[in-house]
Amino acid sequence: MQAGKAAEKRRDAARPLQLTMKRGYEVLRDPHLNKGMAFTLEERQQLNIHGLLPPCFLGQDAQVYTILKNFERLTCDLDRYMLLMSLQDRNEKLFYKVLASDIERFMPIVYTPTVGLACQQYGLAFRRPRGLFISIHDRGHIATMLKSWPESVIKAIVVTDGERILGLGDLGCYGMGIPVGKLALYTACGGVKPHECLPVMLDVGTDNEALLKDPLYIGLRHKRIRGQAYDDLLDEFMEAVTSRYGMNCLIQFEDFANANAFRLLHKYRNKYCTFNDDIQGTASVAVAGLLAALRITKNKLSDHTVLFQGAGEAALGIANLIVMAMEKEGIPKDAATKRIWMVDSKGLIVKGRASLTPEKQRFAHEHGEMKNLEDIVKDIKPSVLIGVAAIGGAFTTQILQDMAALNKRPIIFALSNPTSKAECTAEQCYKYTEGRGIFASGSPFDPVTLPSGQTLYPGQGNNSYVFPGVALGVISCGLRHIDEDVFLTTAEVIAQQVTDENLQEGRLYPPLVTIQDVSLKIAVRVAEEAYRNNTASTYPQPKDLEAFIRSQVYSTDYNSFVADSYTWPEEAMKVKL
């Protein structure tokens, strides 16, 4: 008993000391400070919260157990999402401790696919502010609105206008669930400090008629405002953010519609520290899966012909990064580009077809126009088939069988989210390719047991392998601009973490339980290259980059609030009469 108490005292002494001027209810209502019944008797007395808590003392592990028991009682994923979000609202460190305890279990709840359902019902789910809502009518006052946020040091922002939420389309103000979920993974997977993160919703209206008629909708009730007024809002937002938080503040664009996503990325990427996860993050995780798959197919990326079902921001981002990876293997850019084909809503993208955007024109080749995907697969004979068009079931039985007939080991990526939008399931892929398909998906699928008895664990090409590590590296070294090399480097790091055992199990990505280690390795490589290329701004350069970055990582362990009290020499404390 005495030994246990002594060990607990040693742990308390080892905890970082946190000072706060708050007292009483203010402490318990602040999620950054609150640790529930884990406050010691001395802390309760000093913080004036003694009596506001039951006369019981629970360690953090016991609190995690309590949350898990409550989690297991619930049968609906949306209810589980609500449980975890309410925990985030009242006890931040416990929330991240729970996520870290089983990231593979909780990620599908706090992010895709459950977050899609939560966004659709965000009006019902909204309890308290977790970010800033800035509307088109706030132009001229964004700098003032940023001062409403209680934290003065912000190093990462995720911003959306809600026009293209996952594969669900325009959800307007309900899209706020995405920046909140993304930043939760910044911390859970990458260790970025949560109080240095800010989710932002830019509400310019919605074209979703159902929302405009919904009496519970929490956003602006008019059609989307576009054109110059929209651009002015974005310009003012970027200027206000960097003016308040500095040019090193990372601004991640999330779930903007195709037309704006590319345009804003090109407009801001060389002026601010910014990236678009739908374009660049998705590209990085997809290329990571391809690089891992090459260890199965035993050839080069430039030996493959790639066909995309979809030609939006995700497809174009992946295609551009594949071209970079092929160039790195030694083939010219033009030759690499010719190995990539795309299908959009109007069919195969070919030269001479009307109304092609500049981004699509790059991948338009000489060929007759074709509309049917099954016919296109037979004609193009791809070895890699990637779905990013959010058309559920697009990879039909015939297409999967044709891919198997054309290739010894066909590579099939069904990357659309949420699960209902996936082009095929893992089971369908393995079944119709006779177990030879190399499969990855955007949403999680259960393991599949083949007729031979072998069990395969489908790889989930989740962007959470990318953006937490990139963010941690960018923030740690003070990178001012994020170029495409960062995302190719990230893809290479992720692929390198896939073991031969993982590949034999059907995994093209490291197990999610290792994601914190993967994020750290990405951050270190990003920082190393930044210092090598003289693009970092944090100086002097740390002698041990890994140790320095580890020191920046958020701890989910509780801090100690015991006053930092000490005595002076007796002579110095004598009262002078």
Distance between CA atoms of 478 and 318, rounded to whole angstroms? 26
Distance between CA atoms of 530 and 526, rounded to whole angstroms? 6
Pair of tokens at residue 408: 């010894």
What is the torsional sign of CA 34, 37, 43, 49?
Answer: positive
Are 64 and 101 contacting, i.e. CB atoms less than 8 angstroms apart? Answer: yes
Q: Distances from the Cα of 485 to the Cαs of 294, 317, 439, in angstroms?
A: 20, 13, 26
The enclosing H or E element of 289 equals: helix 282-297
Catalytic residue list: 111, 182
3-state secondary structure of 257: coil
Distance between CA atoms of 471 and 478, rounded to whole angstroms? 10
Pair of tokens at residue 573: 């404390």
Sequence-distant (6+) residues with CB within 8 A of 357 are none
Distance between CA atoms of 44 and 41, rounded to whole angstroms? 5
pLDDT (tens place) for every residue of the chain, 577 residues total = 455 445 445 555 567 888 899 999 999 999 999 999 999 999 999 999 999 999 999 999 999 999 999 999 999 999 999 999 999 999 999 999 999 999 999 998 998 889 988 999 888 777 777 899 999 999 999 999 999 999 999 999 999 999 998 878 999 999 999 999 999 999 999 999 999 999 999 999 999 999 999 988 999 999 999 999 999 999 999 999 999 999 999 999 999 998 899 999 999 999 999 999 999 999 999 999 999 999 999 999 999 999 999 999 899 999 999 999 999 999 999 999 999 999 999 999 999 998 898 889 999 999 999 999 999 999 999 999 999 998 999 999 999 999 999 999 999 999 998 788 999 999 999 999 999 999 999 888 999 999 999 999 998 898 999 999 999 999 999 999 999 999 999 999 999 999 999 999 999 999 999 999 999 999 999 999 999 999 999 999 999 999 999 999 999 999 999 877 888 999 898 888 7
Sequence length of the chain is 577
Are 288 and 490 contacting, i.e. CB atoms less than 8 angstroms apart? Answer: yes
pTM: 0.92
